[in-house]
Structures are given as C-alpha cells and as structure tokens.
Chain A
Amino acid sequence: MRAAIRTRALTKVFRGFRAVDEVDLEVREGSVHALVGPNGAGKTTLFNLLTGFLSPTSGTITVLDEDVTGLPPERVARRGVARSFQITSLFDTLTSREHVELALQGHTRHGFRFWRSERLLGRHRARVDELLEQVGLMPLADKQAGLLAYGQKRALELALVLALDPPVMLLDEPTAGMGIEDVDRTIDLVRRLAAGRTVVFVDHNMHVVGSLADRVTVLQQGRILAEGGYDEVRTDERVITAYLGEAEHA
C-alpha cells in the first residue's frame, strides 16, 4: 500500500532544542493514524512541519509520493493536505457560512476577482449547506464565528477541513476541551469523514484514540518511541512508563 505521508529523518531544531528528532513516520493511505505523546513530545511541531508552517532543519517529507519538503502552507494545502488547529483558529468577523465559502474557494483562482460581487460566493450554496449540515451547524450558518460557543467553533474547524475535500486530513486535537457528548459526536463524525481518506490526528483522550485509530505512533522528546495498533502500543512497557501511566493518573 502507498504511503499517504512519509518522512525521512525529519528534524526540527529550535535554538539547539531538538523538537522533532530524526523521525521516520509512515502513514498508510486510507488509514486513521493517531499521534500521541506527553506534552512537549513534538506532536504539534510535527504537524506544523507536515503542513508547511515550519520548514524542517533537515530530512524530507513526501505526501502521496510527492516531495513537499519546504513548501509553504498554501502549496501544501493545494496538494491535498488540510489541517485543523489545536487552538481554535477562525475568522472572528465572518459567519459560519462565509467560512465554508472561503474554504471552498481556496483552491480556485476566484479569490482574486476584486471586480465581482461577493454574491458570486453564493454559487457554493448547496455544498455549503451540506457541509454545515454534516457538522450540525446549519442553524448557526449566519452567526459570526466570534460569537459561537467553543464546541461549535470546533465543529466549524472540521467543516473547513472537509470543505477542502482533502485526501489527507490532519486534525490537531479535534476533541480538545469538549464535553463528553461532544467528544462522542466528534468521534462519529471523524469516523464518517475518514471513509476514503487518510486521517492523522493528535489527541490526548485515549478513548478517542482507541475508538478511531488503526495505528498509533507514540512520540517522546521528538522521537518515535513505539508504533503499532492501539492495543499493541498500549501494552508496550516503554509507552506505559512514558505516557499511558501518566495519562491514567491524570
């Protein structure tokens, strides 16, 4: 099977601190792959490297057999890698609908049409409705994102990722800060969305990791500590000492 994402000796050094250290990651196409590890293990740095928000100190990244090392974020996005952000990252003054319209327009050149009316964006209406429906935001379509509740913002984040219709989705803590019923709803949603795509996600919630992930990579201090199925990893002794032990006490 082809690798959706493959990194070779991927390294990021911040002023001598090796946040990501010689990581060889392989994410199989069509799989749901979790990245776990204690705080500071390098998960978010790895995400930022994979999506072009940071350029690696050394090493290479390929996405669906194409080298994307060092490409800027917008180019990586156009290669079919969409990401959500750990800290909710939206456009506060735009409505939910306007967000999704923007996302749908993102991989066209229509964004440069300064001489046309913004009503032009209305042509995406059916698709926008469909996406908002999927994440349960249809009743709030015309509300400004800055005024949405936390869980609703997270749902909008997912709608944006989906709007890009990406072969590869990277979700940075999709359930962070959610209540238990929202967590289960999000798990269902991600599971549905994962059909026909590759999903890589970071989450601290082991329930989420256990219910979604085909494979789990455990990071510690910027290195891969263990990799395998959830049950395999969870019984790995190094992992228990490094992470799960800690998490279960928490």
Chain B
Amino acid sequence: MTQSVITQAPADGADVAVAASNPRLRWILLAAGLVAALALPWFVYPPVAMDIVALALFAIALDILLGYTGLLSFGHAAFWGSSAYVTGLIATHYGLPFPVAVIGGAVFAMILALPIGYVSVRRSGIYFAMVTLAFAQMVYFIGYQWSDLTGGENGLQGVPRSFFGIEAVETDSFYFYYAALPILLFGMWAAWRIVHSPFGRVLVSIRDNAPRARALGYEVDKYKAVAFVLSAGLTGLAGGVFAISHGFVALTELHWTTSGDVVLMTVLGGIGTLWGGIVGAFLTVMLADYLASSGFHGIDLITGSVFVLVVLLFRRGVWGTVRHQWNSRRRRRTTSGEGTGR
C-alpha cells in the first residue's frame, strides 16, 4: 500500500495517547475554546467570525479523513458546495428556518458522498486524491450547467435567513452568529466523538497499517467509506451555515480551489489533531481578511508563502507542533513512556 508523506504519522509515535491521558488539560482547552468561540464576534466582524467557525468545522471534517484515516480528499468542495446550494434552495423555496435547511444540505452531502466514497476508497494515496478531485469536478460542472436551479456563474442569489420570526437573528449577523454557532459546535463535537469511538480506533489502525487491520478481520474499504460519508456530512453542515451566513452561494464553493484551501487550512493547523482545523481556519481567514482590508492584491501569494513556511518549519502544523512540544516536555518529566492509563 502506498502512503503519501503527508498522511503518514510522525515516526516517533503520535501524541494522541499522551494527550488523552490528561483529561484536566483537555477540559481547560475545551473551556478556552468555547469562550473564544463566544467572544469572537465581539472582536472580529461577525460575518468573518462566522466564516472562521464554518471553515473550522470544514477543516475538522476533512481531518477525520486526512489525519485519522490517512486519506487525502481533494474533492471536498463537492460536499461543501452542494450542501450550500441545497441549503440555499430549501431556504429560498420553502422558507424553512435555516437550521432545517442546513440539515437538509448536510443530508444531501452524505447521499452524494455514498457513491463517491464507495468508488474512491478502492484507491489510496495520490490516486484517492485524484479520484475525489475528478468527482468534485463533475459536481462543479453540474452546478455550472444547471443554471435554472443554481444560477450558474451568477450563483444562487438572495438566500433568505429565516429563524422562527426572530428579527434580530434574521437581519443582524451578530445575533445570527450565536444562532448558528450551536450547529457548528455540534458538528465539532460529532467529529470528536467519531475520532474517539471504537470506529475511530479502527480508522487510526487503518492509517497506521491497513494490511494489518485487514488481517485482524476489518473490512478496510467499508470503514473508509463510512468515514468518508461522515466527513461529508459534517462538511455539509459547515457549507450550509456558510451559505445562510452569506445569503448567497457562489459557484466557487464547488470549485477545486475550495478543496485545496481546506486541505491547506488542515495541514497548516496540524493534521490528526482536530484542534488544528480551528487554528488553520482562524489563521487563514484572518490573514486573508487583513490583507484584503489593507488593499493588498496578492493575498494568495502571502497565504501560499505562509503555508510553505509552516510546512517546512513545523512539519506537524501549528497546533501539532505546540502539542508535540508540550507532550515531550511532559514525557521528560515523567520517568518513562508508560502512560497513566485511562
């Protein structure tokens, strides 16, 4: 089995077990993260804050595949974008409260992921990435051509934001942020649950050594396919909220560059960490927002350079590096590598 360099776990053993053996630290982190999420729109323009959290969930969903299963999907724009469209269409045509529309979008993303996942997981490494990219391009062209439904190049305009007649949420993006946040936090919790479940354990074993997992009786392809569909569903939640937040769905949400951007965020933050997705999304969005507001025209040049630097200097990504440093300090203090159990 070929494994790409990017999806390989660090050779000196992952830090997962060590981090898990410190529940107190985990609670502190969780509380800090929650406070940060609640405070964000006070410091950042609320629509931008919403972008950060939605993209964070997108990156986390991708990390289930990239960091925990060892699969680099280069086609996740298909699930992000199609959920955005379906959410937008449900909201436009049925006037349902936006959380219902978002769930509709996420369900659609999962249904779409079934055949795509079923076919793609038969390949691994770069071939998997290429197959997912090819499928995503198909979805892109459907979105482009079916302009009666999607608005084609003009995108889907005027997506309403209906929320049980509560006007503050429907009109003010500051209040909308707090109405939509629980959906995204639920998505993040779900990702954490998946990764730390019996299923997640099997995924890690597949990432580390797929033939060995098969010899233990695990149907590796089926596990990968289920992981793929779950990841697509969480991606769909994020894409749906993004669509409602903007009140508009652009064709670029389906474009392959969107798939690329989220891979970049995930790697930037650190794969196989979940938290890395949040860090990656935050840094990317803030950097782009700062550069855009300063009137600078080469945003991609700067974000690209930052990406190259991070990958070269911090192989584990920002969060991955922080965690690794923390864990190795801890390991030095305790006498040996024998953890404290659970």
CB within 8 Å of B: which residues of A?
Answer: 51, 53, 72-74, 77-78, 82-83, 85, 89-95, 98, 101-103, 105-107, 110-122, 139-144, 146-147, 160, 164
Contacts and interface: CB of A to CB of B under 8 A. Distances in A.
A83 B215 contact: yes
B193 A115 contact: yes
Given A107-B217, A117-B196, A117-B197, A146 B211 contact: no
A92 B211 contact: no
B330 interface: no
A113 B198 CA distance: 6
Given A72-B214, A144-B13, A118 B198 contact: yes
Given A111-B199, A142-B341, A143-B337, A93 B216 contact: no
A103 B209 CA distance: 13
B213 to A, nearest CB: 8
B12 interface: yes
Contact of A114 (B209, B218, B220, B230): B230
A95 B211 CA distance: 18
B16 interface: yes
A103 B9 CA distance: 21
Given A95-B17, A105-B202, A146-B11, 16 more contacts: A72-B214, A73-B215, A74-B218, A74-B220, A89-B209, A91-B204, A93-B204, A94-B204, A98-B17, A106-B217, A112-B226, A113-B197, A119-B342, A142-B17, A142-B339, A144-B14
Contacts of B208: 90-94
Nearest to B12: A146
Given A77-B217, A91-B204, A164-B216, A114 B194 contact: yes
Interface in B182-240: 193-194, 196-202, 204-205, 208-209, 211-220, 223, 226, 230
A113 B217 contact: no
A74 B222 CA distance: 11
B300 interface: no
- Chain A to chain B: the 5 pairs with minimum beta-carbon distance, closest first: A93-B14, A106-B217, A114-B199, A91-B208, A106-B216
Interface in B322-342: 337-342
Contacts of B200: 114, 118
B230 to A, nearest CB: 6
Given A115-B197, A118-B197, A146-B13, A53 B218 contact: no
B339 A95 contact: yes
Contacts of B197: 113-118, 120
B215 A82 contact: yes
Given A102-B205, A119-B342, A142-B339, A90 B198 contact: no
Given A93-B14, A114-B226, A142-B341, A77 B215 contact: yes
Contact of B209 (A77, A90, A95): A90
Contacts of B212: 85, 89-91
Contacts of B213: 91, 102
Contact of B217 (A85, A95, A164): A164
A98 B198 contact: no
B219 A74 contact: yes
Contacts of A53: 211, 214-215
